[in-house]
Amino acid sequence: MILRKTILNISFLLLPLSIIAQNAGYVKLSGQVKLRGSNNELKDVSLVIFSGGEKVNEIKTNSSETFQIRLEFNKKYLVEVNKAGLVKLKYEIVTQLPESEFNKIHPFYLRVYLFPNYSEMDMSIYGGLSSTIKYDESSGKFAFNYTGSENLHQRIVENDRVILGVQNKNSRYLRMRKLRVTELMTTSFLR
């Protein structure tokens, strides 16, 4: 009888904690992965999520090329976007934010454009981080952090010229619209 009352009392003490946990916010990372310069579907793209150097999750894009990931606050994540035969892109997501924001769901939409590994391109710039996403206190939202070097930007522009030349020979993409450097990695890379 005493044991039963003790368990019941502990349950009542833990109930508020479970209610608080259910109302706790998170970062809702969603997005779409496309093949750059093509309207073809890009299904089954792998997104591997690391935190603290350990793999914490792996998902695949669905039939509409989209994904959705729930990330906890106050952590640093590395998201690798990969499909066989295409260049792997990596995004660092830092979910540090003021405690006053912990009760909210913070959405961030990431559009990723993967592309083939062209032999004419300098692929060394893609071996590292593609971009960093973190909380921007001035806007109250998660956004890209643009502290990359101008040298990296120049190398991306040079690679873009190579892709332009390769695609000009192999597709009608260039006739459809002017290619923007920002589409090399994400639509938001340089905004």
Stated pTM of the model? 0.68
In a domain, 11, yes or no: no
- Tell me the pLDDT band of 18, cut-offs 50, 70 and 90: very low
pLDDT in tens, 180-191: 333 444 443 433
Give the number of domains in the chain: 1
SS3 21: helix
CA distance 131 to 93: 9
Tokens of 135: 């909380």
Long-range Cβ pairs for the range 87-90 (8 Å, 24+): 87/114, 87/115, 87/116, 87/117, 87/123, 87/126, 88/126, 89/114, 89/126, 89/130, 89/185, 90/128, 90/129, 90/130
In a domain, 36, yes or no: yes
CA distance 55 to 185: 23
Range of the domain at 139: 24-184
In a domain, 137, yes or no: yes
In a domain, 151, yes or no: yes
In a domain, 147, yes or no: yes
pLDDT in tens, 154-174: 666 676 676 666 555 544 443
* Alpha carbon distances (Å) from 164 to 52, 78, 116, 121, 177: 38, 29, 13, 11, 12
pLDDT at 166: 57
In a domain, 7, yes or no: no
CATH number where 53 lies: 2.60.40.10
- How does the average pLDDT of the chain come out, rounded? 74
In a domain, 146, yes or no: yes
pLDDT in tens, 40-99: 768 889 999 999 999 999 999 887 888 999 999 999 999 999 998 888 888 999 999 999
Average pLDDT over residues 133-143: 93
In a domain, 167, yes or no: yes
Calculated CA dihedral for residues 111, 44, 68, 40, nearest 10 degrees: 40
Report which of 52, 84, 49 is spatially closest to residue 67, judged by C-alpha positions.
49
CA distance 58 to 98: 28
Report which of 157, 156, 186, 155 is spatially closest to residue 89, judged by C-alpha positions.
186
pLDDT at 184: 42
